[in-house]
Amino acid sequence: MKGLIGKKIGMTSFFSETGIQYPCTVIQAGPCYVTQLKTEDTDGYEAVQLGFEDKKEKRATKAIKGHFDKASVSPKKKLVEFRDFEVEVGLGDVLEADIFEEGERVNVVGTSKGKGFQGVVKRHGFGGVGMRTHGQHNRGRAPGAIGAASYPARVFKGMRMAGRTGGERVKMRNLEVVKVLKDQNLILVKGAIPGAKGSYVIIESK
């Protein structure tokens, strides 16, 4: 595979040559720096470690600085490893948005927006119970029964109930790259991706 670390900028519209409008997400993809090359002999597996976005020198420990000094790059905020990397790279190399092509299909990984404790209607899409026209007034968004009576006398594991929602790692698969702006390191992918504006995302080829 090949991949980059990026940042979600926001959403916009893209018009095809035939005039069809598509909702697209704008991602700042790179520049990413090769900060480490892991090998079978030294690490037990092969991988390419990429770093994205500069970090203040005063916020980096001596150990962290030493790690980045080996690659002759400044400390980075975000580090991600990619296995089976297709692109030939060397320590300290720079990867930019142009490693992806227009029309290519990619997967995008991000962290969904955290929504805190939510009920079953928002969390699981329940329709609510009862008919409000028949005098029912305060149970419209309730989950209803969660178990049987004396048998089995317990609530089964995995029962969909209220709880913490969002803030999870989500992968969107098979998104089309509709535009690559190399000079600005921007990639437009068709559709929405998880996360808030300014959050980190990982773009990887299928």
Over the stretch 91-150, which tens digit does the pLDDT of each residue have?
Answer: 989 999 989 999 999 999 999 999 999 999 999 999 877 677 777 777 788 888 888 888
pLDDT of residue 135: 75
31, 78 in Cβ contact below 8 A? no
pLDDT of residue 157: 93
In 3-state terms, what secondary structure has residue 19? coil
Domain boundaries, given as residue ranges, for the chain: 3-122+169-205, 123-165
Tokens representing residue 5 in the block: 């670390």
In 3-state terms, what secondary structure has residue 81? strand
pLDDT of residue 139: 78
In 3-state terms, what secondary structure has residue 45? coil
Tokens representing residue 82 in the block: 């990619």
The CATH number of domain 3-122+169-205, selected from 3.10.20.740, 3.30.160.110, 3.10.450.50, 2.40.30.10: 2.40.30.10
pLDDT of residue 136: 74
Name the β-bridge partners of 34.
50
pLDDT of residue 193: 95
Helices (H) and strands (E) in the chain, counts: 3, 12
Low-confidence ranges of the chain (pLDDT < 50): none
pLDDT of residue 147: 87
End-to-end CA distance of the chain: 7
160, 124 in Cβ contact below 8 A? yes
What does each C-alpha distance from 49 to 19, 112, 171 come to in angstroms?
Answer: 40, 24, 20
Claim: this prediction has a pTM higher than 0.75: yes
pLDDT of residue 130: 67
